[in-house]
């Protein structure tokens, strides 16, 4: 079998993951281990508010993580969902794959499994993510006892809100919903409160042309406790077929799940579409099947973003977003590059 250059494709936030994964591979590690350890760097980062430690919590203020891995040669995936108190969700998913016959462990069971293996039990809220959650709670309604920004007239209240200009995930981060507000949320009501989707996905092709994938997230911020998105669902948040390619998704998981998004991207590549066209084809499927008014903007387009990532068996990559302005990362050997995503809908300038 010919030796080839390793190729990875990831979400916009995947540069540190790709660099660490490259080091693991250079040190003789396998691609799946490399992806998990690479993603571990992002899970460990307290400033990254959509993944792992410091991720934004659920509506009760508890961080719940979802993650999955898929091994192309074995054609097997494994995942955890609603994992509390353990930051390394991707590594726990890898242990589910390695040590069990199961595909998905959730909630308390996932946590007990991780603790049994010696993963550290800790509070995943950072002062910054706790503050974001408290700000979100206070901004929800003026018909409860939490004092919201416009009500904060006293010195103490104003001082609390003065620090609320924390952007949370980078306002320019492609999969933060700062560009496209999530359904049902008026950003005007709480302009400084981060409300975010956000996830890391990395697909990798190793030197033997075998495919692997990994996704990790804290999911939708302020979600209802127990909500799992697409990320831990094999076929939705990630999928690989070792004969064809690998794919992943970030953005509004509820929409990705309705079309089995990552599986659909791989199937489209199998049917002969290029990686980029396969992503665009599936995004169109999502857009065409978005029927609820609350999810559609005044131009008839989905009011949320989804970004898809595709890596074909021959090393060709492609990525596309529902809306213009998003980026992804491609690593070939030691060269790591951020690239713009193709898109379905261009930005519209406001006209009156």
Residues near ligand ASP (CB under 6 A): 175, 197-199, 217, 219-220, 229-231, 250-251, 253
Radius of gyration, alpha carbons of the chain: 20
Please give the full DSSP string across 54-104, using - where no structure is assigned: T----TTS---EEEEEEETTTTEEEEEEEE-S-S-HHHHHHHHHHH-S-SE
121: CB partners within 8 A, 6+ apart: 85, 86, 115
DSSP state of 159: H
31: nearest Cα among 272, 338, 303, 311: 311
Element spanning 331, H or E: strand 327-332
335: CB partners within 8 A, 6+ apart: none
Residue 305 C-beta: closest distance to ligand ASP, Å:
8
User: Contact 56/193 with Cβ under 8 angstroms?
Assistant: no
Residue 253 C-beta: closest distance to ligand ASP, Å:
2
199 is catalytic: yes
Residue 13 or 88: the one with the smaller Cβ distance to ligand ASP is 13
Residue 117 C-beta: closest distance to ligand ASP, Å:
24
Residue 51 or 240: the one with the smaller Cβ distance to ligand ASP is 51
Residue 22 or 77: the one with the smaller Cβ distance to ligand ASP is 77
Extract the runs of DSSP E, i.e. beta strands, from 187-273. 199-205, 211-217, 238-241, 245-251
Residue 322 C-beta: closest distance to ligand ASP, Å:
12
- Sort 134 into a burial class: Cβ within 10 Å, 0-12 / 13-18 / 19+: middle
First to last CA, the chain: 61
Residue 16 or 251: the one with the smaller Cβ distance to ligand ASP is 251
230: nearest Cα among 310, 306, 323, 296: 306
Residue 139 or 250: the one with the smaller Cβ distance to ligand ASP is 250
Which of 169, 199, 215, 317 is flagged as catalytic?
Answer: 199
Catalytic residues: 199
């Amino acid at each position: 079998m010919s030796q080839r250059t390793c190729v990875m494709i990831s979400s916009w936030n995947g540069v540190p993951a790709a660099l660490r994964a490259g080091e693991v591979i250079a040190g003789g590690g396998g691609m799946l281990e490399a992806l998990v350890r690479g993603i571990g760097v992002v899970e460990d980062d307290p400033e990254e508010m959509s993944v792992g430690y410091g991720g934004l919590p659920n509506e009760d203020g508890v961080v719940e993580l979802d993650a999955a891995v898929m091994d192309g040669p074995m054609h097997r995936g494994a995942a955890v969902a609603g994992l509390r108190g353990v930051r390394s969700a991707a590594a726990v998913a890898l242990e589910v794959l390695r040590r069990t016959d199961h595909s998905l462990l959730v909630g308390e069971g996932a946590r007990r499994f991780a603790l049994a293996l010696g993963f550290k039990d800790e509070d995943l809220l950072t002062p910054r993510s706790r503050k974001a959650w408290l700000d979100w709670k206070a901004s929800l309604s003026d018909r409860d006892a939490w004092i919201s920004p416009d009500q904060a007239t006293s010195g103490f209240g104003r001082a609390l809100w003065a620090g609320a200009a924390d952007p949370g995930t980078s306002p320019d981060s492609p999969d933060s919903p700062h560009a496209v507000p999530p359904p049902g949320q008026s950003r005007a009501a709480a302009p400084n409160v981060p409300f975010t989707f956000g996830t890391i996905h990395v697909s990798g092709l190793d030197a033997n042309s075998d495919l692997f994938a990994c996704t990790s997230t804290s999911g939708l911020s302020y979600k209802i406790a127990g909500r799992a998105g697409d990320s831990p669902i094999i076929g939705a948040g990630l999928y690989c077929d070792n004969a064809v390619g690998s794919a992943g998704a970030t953005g509004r998981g509820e929409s990705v799940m309705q079309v089995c998004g990552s599986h659909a991207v791989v199937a489209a590549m199998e049917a002969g579409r290029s990686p980029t066209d396969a992503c665009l084809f599936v995004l169109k499927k999502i857009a065409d099947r978005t029927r609820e008014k609350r999810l559609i903007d005044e131009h008839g387009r989905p009011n949320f973003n989804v970004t898809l990532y595709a890596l074909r068996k021959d090393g060709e990559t492609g990525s596309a977003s529902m809306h213009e302005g998003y980026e992804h990362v491609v690593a070939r050997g030691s060269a790591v590059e951020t690239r713009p995503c193709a898109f379905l809908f261009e930005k519209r300038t406001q006209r009156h």
